[in-house]
Structure formats: structure tokens, C-alpha cells
């Protein structure tokens, strides 16, 4: 079990690990795990095989730290901000904020190479890749909307050359609908939360289209 905990006595957010009936702090002094993307942040860390990747509050850059609590090593540098981290296939997916411009990027853990995944929308959130690596999904929205008023669920398919194809809107096109927390199930089907019916409800892909998930006992 891993979690991010803020302690007011030192004013820092640190990652804790619970294992074998004991807990320990992984974040060393001088670091605080917090993203400032969109100012309110979110998605400030993720697990990456035997390591932890996190956003350091002071410089908003990505750091990799092995789970033996070794010293964090910088993955990025500069004045961009990062958030919404997700690990897949040796790379970190992230929302990248460059002043007023936002993008989705993938950063290779081996060499730090950065690759653009999506651009053009005003805001992005929650990038995620299916377990088989064949589908990429995310949430995006445009001004003047807020993420709780109107967003779109987007999805792209992996091409034969390894690149991503043209993204398609799965839900939210032209609607006052808030879609959040996209997830792929074990069969590669895309699900998310939507307030389309006036309250938060899980919907997903089905043979009949994008529909509410059936309740089960």
C-alpha cells in the first residue's frame, strides 16, 4: 500500500509505504510530492515497476526513486509542470503544462526521451493505456468549461508502427456532460464516470454503444 500524506509540522507531502505490518516514509528531506498543474494539481505520483515516479513540489519536475528509498533522480528539467502520472510499458504518461499551454506527453524511463501524445485542447487529464498496450484514453475540455461541467472522453488506437492513430471522441461531444476517471477493464473496454443522468454513474463501452454499466448483486 502506498499513499501521499501531508504533515503540517514540516509542510511537506511525502509518500508512505505499508508492508509487512509496518510503514515507512520513502520521500527524503528536501522533497515534497505535489503537482501544481492547473494550480490545484493531482496525480502527483505513480508506481513504475520497482520504482516510484513523482512530481517534486519545489521545481515541478519528475523524479524517479527506487523502492529501497534511494535518492531520487531527476527525469525532467526546465520550467514545465507535470501531473496526472500513469506508468505503462517503460514510460510515464503525464499532463504537461507550459505556461498556458497543456499537452499529453510520454517520457521514457530509460533515457528521458519525451514524446508528444496529444495537443490542441485547452486542458487534459487522466491519461491511461490499456493493459495490452493497444489503446490510449484521456479526458480533455475547453474554456470556459470546468472539468465538473463539460469534458470529453477521447481514445486512440495503437498503429502497426507503434504510433497512435487519430483520436476519437467516445463520449461528451457537444454535450454538457462531465466525464471523469477513465479506466480499461481486463478485456480492454473503456469505462468512466459520467453525470449524464444527473448523478455520477459508471458507464462503459458495450455492443450497444456507450451505456450505463449493469448493476449486479
Q: Residues of the chain with pLDDT > 90: what percent?
A: 89
Q: Quick one: pLDDT band at residue 214, thresholds 50, 70, 90? A: confident
Q: Is pLDDT above 90 for 216?
A: no
d(CA 16, CA 42): 17
Domains and CATH numbers, the chain: 1-120 (2.120.10.30)
pLDDT at 217: 61
Whether the model pTM is above 0.85: yes
pLDDT tens digits, 104-149: 999 999 989 999 999 999 999 999 999 999 999 999 999 999 999 9
Between 215 and 15, residue with greater pLDDT: 15
pLDDT-based confidence at 175, cuts 50/70/90?
A: confident
What b/e readout covers 175-203, taking b as 16+ CB neighbours within 10 angstroms? Answer: eebbbbebebeeeeebbbebebeeeeeeb
Q: What are the pLDDT digits (tens) for 7-49?
A: 999 899 999 999 999 999 999 999 999 999 999 999 999 999 9
Q: 85 pLDDT exceeds 70?
A: yes
64 pLDDT exceeds 70? yes
Give the chain's mean pLDDT: 95
3-state secondary structure of 196: coil
Residue 6 pairs in a beta bridge with: 13
State the number of CA atoms in the 13 A half-sphere of 191 facing the CB: 14
Taking the mean position of all CA atoms in its chain, how far away is CA 166?
20
How far is Cα 84 from Cα 211, in angstroms, rounded to an integer? 26
Amino acid at each position: 500500500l502506498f499513499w501521499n500524506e501531508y504533515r503540517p509540522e514540516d509542510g511537506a507531502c511525502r509518500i508512505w509505504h505499508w508492508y509487512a505490518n509496518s510503514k515507512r516514509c520513502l520521500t527524503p528531506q528536501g522533497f515534497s510530492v505535489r503537482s501544481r498543474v492547473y494550480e490545484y494539481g493531482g496525480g502527483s505520483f505513480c508506481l513504475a515497476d520497482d520504482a516510484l515516479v513523482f512530481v517534486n513540489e519545489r521545481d515541478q519536475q519528475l523524479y524517479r526513486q527506487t523502492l529501497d528509498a534511494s535518492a531520487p533522480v531527476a527525469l525532467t528539467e526546465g520550467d514545465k509542470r507535470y501531473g496526472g502520472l500513469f506508468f505503462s510499458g517503460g514510460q510515464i504518461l503525464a499532463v504537461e503544462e507550459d505556461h498556458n499551454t497543456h499537452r499529453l506527453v510520454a517520457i521514457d524511463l530509460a533515457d528521458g526521451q519525451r514524446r508528444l501524445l496529444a495537443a490542441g485542447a485547452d486542458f487534459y487529464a487522466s491519461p491511461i493505456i490499456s493493459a495490452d498496450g493497444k489503446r490510449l484514453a484521456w479526458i480533455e475540455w475547453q474554456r470556459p468549461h470546468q472539468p465538473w461541467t463539460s469534458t470529453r472522453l477521447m481514445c486512440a488506437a495503437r498503429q502497426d508502427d507503434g504510433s497512435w492513430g487519430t483520436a476519437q471522441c467516445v463520449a461528451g461531444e457537444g454535450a454538457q456532460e462531465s466525464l471523469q476517471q477513465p479506466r480499461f477493464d481486463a478485456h480492454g473496454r473503456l469505462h468512466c464516470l459520467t453525470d449524464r443522468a444527473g448523478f455520477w454513474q459508471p458507464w462503459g463501452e458495450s455492443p450497444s454503444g456507450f451505456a450505463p454499466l449493469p448493476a449486479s448483486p
